Chains A and B, each alone.
Chain A
């Protein structure tokens, strides 16, 4: 395992070497320069896996549920990959990754691969490494990929970028319906789960959510979000959840899943390029210092911005096949 190359890891990944899969995910997380070369070599095999995201407030039972869902998919004969994201400490950058505790039963199943990830710097970073990790799991041949994120802050939007189907998990008590709506959780849901149906208040929450998703306006084209009540700790109701997820997949397939996926991938390319360009611009190319000097000299920010924006966009090459005149025309 010492200093492997992109080629050797890619080759081992295709031979179903779990350590190679694990190392590629580390490369993705670390922004290792070798990652993209390795992904290139296996990218033709990406796109076969179904990706389901699980989000919701801490303690709602996501990990417990992911464990049960993994078990159910194994029962259908599918292999399963799990990515469990926990927050990084804003103070030290370290993280405690403990979701596996709830998934212990799956540890020794050769058809399951579980990976914990820290969110690291949250701006786009979560989505980036998570998508990359999903891709290598996909190339490895795992059929069902389950992604667990913490339902606070940015995470729920990131999970949309990663998953084909988003399951929002709530439970009575701590994360009630109103709070979930306020947090924007309902917006991202393709399927709503009311977990802990064994506890008082679960029926009530399910009714409230049912009402909430059906009175939304302007969603005629949208998938009718089902509300599934279940008890993750006993597994009761998990079969119904799988049916609901199947329903969403069928709905996507009947429309254009490929288009939706392509749009997500385009978004991902944009984000990566944005990040790279801005890094180069403000750092290596020295524009950060230039701006600071201009401002210090008393120029107004909007003027500095306009000037810089003009100079930068002038130097941008047109995409192959794009009519150059258009570009010039815009400026006129």
Chain B
């Protein structure tokens, strides 16, 4: 009997300590039935990618409010690819101007959520995304 649950890593890369949003999202995803790994503050891109490997997560969500998103988001992605983790759904949020969102979404981030997003919308989006991927995977098998 297979009971697969969506596993999500919520990461706080960089030095900023504003974790209100990250913790609210982590809690909301738990309440939506997901298993959420939270690694705490001040993570380097390398650490986040390494945890993603060990925890075999389906989704990596990053929260950045430090203005360093154009540096940190691509670095996390690079570290994930270096570990053959290209299949992970990348998402995130924080204080990110619209033009940067567009640029990051082109660089492999599936979706970035801005201030004021309902946590329910984040959960629903992840569920839909994973459903799509799992059914593709099932078809491939």
Chain A residues with CB under 8 Å of chain B are 1-3, 18-19, 22-23, 25-26, 30-33, 88-89, 91-98, 100-101, 104, 107-108, 113-116, 118, 120, 279
Closest-CB distance, A138 to chain B (whole angstroms): 16
Given A22-B54, A100-B38, A108-B46, 15 extra CB contacts under 8 A = A3-B141, A19-B56, A19-B83, A19-B84, A25-B56, A32-B4, A88-B35, A92-B33, A93-B5, A96-B30, A97-B38, A107-B39, A107-B47, A107-B50, A120-B3
Chain B residues numbered 1-57 whose CB sits less than 8 Å from any CB in chain A:
1-5, 7, 26-27, 29-40, 43, 46-47, 50-51, 53-56
Closest-CB distance, B14 to chain A (whole angstroms): 15
Beta-carbon contact of B83 and A118 below 8 Å: no
Beta-carbon contact of B56 and A22 below 8 Å: yes
Contact among A23, A88, A100 for B56, CB-based, below 8 A: A23
Interface centre among B30, B50, B84 (most CB of A within 10 A): B30
A-B contact count (CB 8 A): 99
With CB as the reference atom, state the residue of chain A lying closest to B26: A96
* Alpha-carbon distance between A115 and B38 when the two chains are bound, in angstroms: 12
Closest-CB distance, B56 to chain A (whole angstroms): 4
Interface residues on B, range: 35 or more
* Alpha-carbon distance between A3 and B29 when the two chains are bound, in angstroms: 26
* Alpha-carbon distance between A94 and B1 when the two chains are bound, in angstroms: 18
Interface centre among A2, A88, A92, A97 (most CB of B within 10 A): A97
Contact among A22, A30, A95 for B2, CB-based, below 8 A: A30
Beta-carbon contact of A22 and B53 below 8 Å: yes
Beta-carbon contact of B37 and A116 below 8 Å: yes
With CB as the reference atom, state the residue of chain B lying closest to A24: B56
Closest-CB distance, B18 to chain A (whole angstroms): 17
User: If A2-B140, A31-B2, A104-B47 touch, does A98 touch B33 (CB 8 Å cutoff)?
Assistant: no
Beta-carbon contact of A116 and B55 below 8 Å: yes
Chain B residues with CB under 8 Å of chain A are 1-5, 7, 26-27, 29-40, 43, 46-47, 50-51, 53-56, 83-85, 87, 137, 140-141
B30 — which chain A residues lie within 8 A by C-beta? 89, 92, 94-96
* Alpha-carbon distance between A88 and B31 when the two chains are bound, in angstroms: 10
A116 — which chain B residues lie within 8 A by C-beta? 37, 55
User: If A94-B30, A101-B40 touch, does A118 touch B35 (CB 8 Å cutoff)?
Assistant: yes
* Alpha-carbon distance between A235 and B37 when the two chains are bound, in angstroms: 26
A95 — which chain B residues lie within 8 A by C-beta? 30, 35-36
Beta-carbon contact of B31 and A92 below 8 Å: yes
Closest-CB distance, B45 to chain A (whole angstroms): 11
B35 — which chain A residues lie within 8 A by C-beta? 88, 94-95, 97, 118
Beta-carbon contact of B54 and A18 below 8 Å: yes
* Alpha-carbon distance between A98 and B43 when the two chains are bound, in angstroms: 14
Beta-carbon contact of B39 and A100 below 8 Å: yes
* Alpha-carbon distance between A33 and B35 when the two chains are bound, in angstroms: 21
* Alpha-carbon distance between A120 and B137 when the two chains are bound, in angstroms: 24
A25 — which chain B residues lie within 8 A by C-beta? 56
Closest-CB distance, A287 to chain B (whole angstroms): 18
* Alpha-carbon distance between A19 and B50 when the two chains are bound, in angstroms: 10
Contact among B2, B34, B43, B141 for A94, CB-based, below 8 A: B34
Beta-carbon contact of B3 and A30 below 8 Å: yes
